[in-house]
Amino acid sequence: MADITKIAAVSRTEFGKGAARRTRRAGLVPAVLYGHGSDPIHVSLPGHETLLALRVANALLSITVDGGKEQLALPKQVQRNPIKDGIEHVDLVIVKRGEKVTVEVPLVVVGHDRDDTLVLMDQQTITLQVEATHIPSEIEINVKGLEVGDAIAAKDLNLPDGAVFPGEPDDLILSIAAPRAEVAAESAEGEEGAEGESGEAAAEE
């Protein structure tokens, strides 16, 4: 089961850029909570707790607004300050236990310990449909023993129970290639061989 971070939010009644700046100066993060047919709820979240929680991809949050009942939510969109290490605004979507959600999960390569191969990632994340309370933090791809020319497709991934990839099974995830220097050397050798053959042919003529 995914870790759930509890966040105590307070209602926000002031809107606009000026109000948002005042909220952030107070150490809070403006946010909106919506989903499941409910009207959007504008709230302020504790800045430091929210920053720590959202360092994890697809962080599952338990939000209480003004001390009310808890609601599970996932970050839908996070606006970050490009200069300061802070969050400008968060869109949160309400989810229910047992409900399947569509999320982007990071792909992590393990087992690559060779200098004579390169791992070429076709995708850095994978889209999964999974229960809201069972979202994996990452999907590991073990490439140990793979040789140049080998590839891994979506169907080859080891997904957690209940997780479904909605795309095509043959969608390419990564491939194994030779280092560029090695490819360049082989190409140069090929060119030299071709030039030698041309020279020999010219001499015969």
pLDDT of residue 196: 58
Per-residue pLDDT of the chain (205 residues; tens, 9 = 90+): 568 999 999 998 877 788 888 888 888 999 999 998 888 999 999 999 999 999 888 999 999 999 888 999 999 999 888 877 788 999 999 999 889 999 999 999 999 998 899 999 999 999 999 999 999 999 999 999 999 999 999 999 999 999 999 999 999 999 999 997 555 555 555 555 556 565 555 555 5
Fold classification of 4-96 (topology level): Ribosomal Protein L25; Chain P (2.40.240)
Q: Where are the domains of the chain?
A: 4-96, 101-182
pLDDT at 190: 59
The torsion angle over the Cα atoms of residues 124, 179, 117 and 173, rounded to 10 degrees, is 20
Residue closest to 174 by CA, chosen among 116, 113, 110, 102: 110
* DSSP state letters, 36-99: TTEEEEEEEEEHHHHHHHTTSTT-EEEEEETT--EEEEEEEEEEE-SSSS-EEEEEEEE--TT-
CATH number listed for the domain at residues 101-182: 2.170.120.20
* pLDDT for residue 202: 53
Question: What pTM, to 2 d.p., does this model score?
Answer: 0.74
Q: In the chain, what's the furthest Cα-to-Cα distance?
A: 94
> Counting Cβ atoms within 10 Å, is residue 53 exposed (0-12), middle (13-18) or buried (19+)?
buried
